[in-house]
Amino acid sequence: MEKQLIKISVRTLVEFILQSGDLDNRTASADKEAMQMGARLHRKIQRQMGSMYTSEVSMKCQVPYEKFVLQVEGRADGVMDTEEGLAIDEIKGVFRDVNTLEEPVPVHLAQAKCYAFIYGDQHEQEKMGVQMTYCHLETEEIRRFRQEYTTEELREWFYGITDAYEKWALFQVEWKEKRNASIKKVEFPYQYRDGQKKLAAAVYRTIERQKKLFIQAPTGVGKTMATVFPAVKAVGEGLVDKLFYLTAKTITRTVAQQAFDILKQPGPDGPAAVGPAAVEEGDTALRYKVITLTAKEKICFCEKPECNPDYCPYAKGHFDRINDAVYDMITTSDDMSRQAVEEQAKKWQVCPFELGLDLSLWADAVICDYNYVFDPNAKLKRFFGEGVKGDYIFLIDEAHNLVERGREMFSASLCKEDVMKVRRLVKTRDVRLARQLEDCNRQMLALKRECDGCQVLESAGGIYLKLLSVMAEMERYLEECKEEDVREEVLSLYFEVRMFETIYEKLDENYMIYSEIDGEGKFFVRLFCVNPAVNLNEALEKGVSTIFFSATLLPIRYYRQLLSTKTDDYAVYAQSTFARENRLLLLGNDVSTRYTARGEATYRKYASYLLEMVQGKKGNYMAFFPSYKFMEEVYDQFLLLAEKEDSSAQCVIQAPYMSEEAREIFLEEFEEEREESLLGFCVMGGIFSEGIDLSRDRLIGAAVVGTGLPQVCRERELLREYFDKKGLRGFDYAYVYPGMNKVLQSAGRVIRTEEDRGVILLLDDRFREGRYKETFPREWEGLEICNVKNAGEKMRAFWDQTSSK
């Protein structure tokens, strides 16, 4: 039987086996050599080395073990043929003063030694030189360290590293055998709903063909299980190796975790399999390691998430214990829940957040926020870093959120006042840094003088070049600074500058550069990602297939254009499984949320609609508004009207900046039994307009007040201008489609199961216009027009009809 091939990069191998010491985030350096400027410097040094220097030499070697073959591979920066003999050259770009380096960084040297052994062994050399070349990224000053090794020395050392990795590779081989055997036995856990089987088949075919699929699937189709199940099956067939389930909100991550837990149950009433011996021969339970990544701020054991050994006891010696903690967990349990991760972190005295990230390497499915895959600063470099690629599938839930999130993640700004604040702080502490900050401030001041509120710029190249010098000085200063309060301010600006640099290097026709003076008089230079598709796809190309799905992915052309660069993506419209007669959809055509129509009379009319809704049948209702101010105006009118009409309806109202506890208390109101109707006043696009699941009689009606259009602002107008120039409908791209998505999400709170009955009020005369109606889902056919005088009669008739069935 052919042995399984396990591949690992040289860098990953040495960093994994040789990591030791404390976890410490006080060093600001963040993988600088991966930056484009580092790559450019690499090439410059390589070109200067002459004809006896071969750059970017790919290497790999195979080490056979009993059950597998370990293939170690990578690319050496250079191979030199000198008078002293052959040598490997490893180049590292750094911001620190190279003269302060007394010896090579151990993991850097280890990388070079791996290449030296592979090359020396394959070219039958008795000895090999290893040269470490450190180069300052701004001054280009170089410092080199050279050592000589016999090939036998390197062989013994190299096999010591691979032998240390043997147990990890063996775990991979044996675990995949168990996992794949269990997948073959797992069947769909329910009776397929109408259209659900076709949906699951479409997902599987898409993965098989290594394509992207856009799924518009109304609530109740069962899209979570219809995507998870075929993806797991694809893993079992060897089409992909790891599954990433991406979400924008915590509550949808919980739903995804529940789907995996259901598949892991050995029977309809049996518990999930969690221990290594939990599945015996003949059992149908899925063996699958699933981890949900929790934000550092939420899972940290300390009051503040400060990762340094002086503050956190779990950071001290973290790297000395982390591998043992991971190996213990993956070999004794399939449970990677938050509770299990926290217990393991305490047992081994390691950081729970970092433990979760390390466990993700050995998990079969990773449930996480979008930023772990896409955000340039937060993405998991072990999976999505430079030169890293894998057999991944991406399941992107609530994909409509990814457009705006993508714009946020791939945009950057620099504030002149932040630069001056730090300059004042360091003026007497560090002359060099203060001088660079002052030069940067002068450049921004020149732009500010030209800016009349907002100005589109052709380039920000001058600021970018100046920031390279600023970053170098901040890097040096942060390593020396002992004043914690000053250090925090400098570090904050450092991250701002680093993000600006990172995004600047991504600039293309999908960006707009502009300067603006905000309402507080602060001056910003912004790099605005208008169309995030290219940047998003750069990350998605690290895997083999992507499934975008949402209950509100209309119009599909809009989302395909802003989420994908491909022209051959698939799209599926899943039919609703709900009977149309279970829902009443009314459009109130005698009200409008236009600014010109707003006033006490309008607010009173909206309040009348809401009172008619809650009096039509006793139950729980929600009303969604375009803003807090509009909501509060209608709320006041509703209370007056309810008192006048002697209505006993109760109200709860969403407050800005609600804590998690406050949100839970708000939703608990909809769980209680009561003698009268309950009306929740909420903001469209807010925390209660999507992701919450109030099924059956916990919510029987919703009023959507207005078309959800974003407020007119500079960035929205820039979006409009950009898409108009592309020959597209700029107003629709900037305002209508994002707004209507909020409308569809809010309306989708009502009908959640096949047993649900409910009413939906669309309250704005603009809903009758073609540009809004084209975004309506198919299941909205049968919409009825109403006004404030006959809406109550229509709703009462609907409830009378449904109660008689």
Predicted local confidence at residue 40, as pLDDT: 63
- Quick one: which of 648, 542, 587 has its CA closest to 780? 587
Q: Which helix (H) or strand (E) holds 683?
A: strand 678-683
Number of Cβ within a 10 Å radius of residue 441: 18
Predicted local confidence at residue 704, as pLDDT: 98
3-state secondary structure of 128: strand
Predicted local confidence at residue 220, as pLDDT: 75
Judge whether residue 723 has pLDDT over 60.
Answer: yes
Predicted local confidence at residue 580, as pLDDT: 82
The structure tokens 């168990």 sit at 178
Write the single-letter amino acid at 770: G
For the residues 303-324, what does the mean pLDDT come to? 93
pLDDT digits (tens, 9 = 90+) for 242-287: 999 999 887 788 889 999 999 998 754 433 433 344 434 445 589 9
pLDDT band per the 50, 70, 90 thresholds, residue 31: very low
* Domains defined for the chain, CATH in brackets: 4-167 (3.90.320.10), 208-288+364-409+532-577 (3.40.50.300), 292-363 (no CATH), 412-531 (1.10.275.40), 580-803 (3.40.50.300)
Q: Return d(Cα 488, Cα 707) in angstroms, integer.
A: 43
pLDDT digits (tens, 9 = 90+) for 436-461: 999 999 999 999 999 988 999 999 99
Contacts of 270 (CB under 8 A, 6+ apart): 285
3-state secondary structure of 588: strand
Whether the Cβ atoms of residue 398 and residue 250 lie closer than 8 Å to each other: no
For the residues 157-164, what does the mean pLDDT come to? 97
Q: Which percentage of the chain shows pLDDT scores above 70?
A: 94
Q: Return d(Cα 131, Cα 53) in angstroms, integer.
A: 13
Predicted local confidence at residue 424, as pLDDT: 96
For the residues 54-73, what does the mean pLDDT come to? 94
Predicted local confidence at residue 679, as pLDDT: 97
Contacts of 804 (CB under 8 A, 6+ apart): none
- Quick one: which of 194, 295, 203 has its CA closest to 250? 295
Predicted local confidence at residue 1, as pLDDT: 59
Contacts of 237 (CB under 8 A, 6+ apart): none
State the chain's mean pLDDT as an integer: 91
Centroid of chain to Cα 92: 29
On the 0-12 / 13-18 / 19+ scale of CB atoms within 10 A, 726 is middle
pLDDT digits (tens, 9 = 90+) for 339-373: 999 999 999 999 999 999 999 999 999 999 999 99
Judge whether residue 168 has pLDDT over 70.
Answer: yes
Contacts of 396 (CB under 8 A, 6+ apart): 246, 370, 402, 546, 547, 548, 549
25-39, 214-228, 289-303 — most confident range: 289-303
For the residues 575-587, what does the mean pLDDT come to? 87
Predicted local confidence at residue 97, as pLDDT: 78
For the residues 671-683, what does the mean pLDDT come to? 94
Give the pair of three-digit tokens for residue 106: 């151990």
Number of Cβ within a 10 Å radius of residue 236: 19
Q: Which helix (H) or strand (E) holds 584?
A: strand 583-588
Q: Return d(Cα 355, Cα 363) in angstroms, integer.
A: 12
Predicted local confidence at residue 267, as pLDDT: 59
Whether the Cβ atoms of residue 351 and residue 314 lie closer than 8 Å to each other: yes
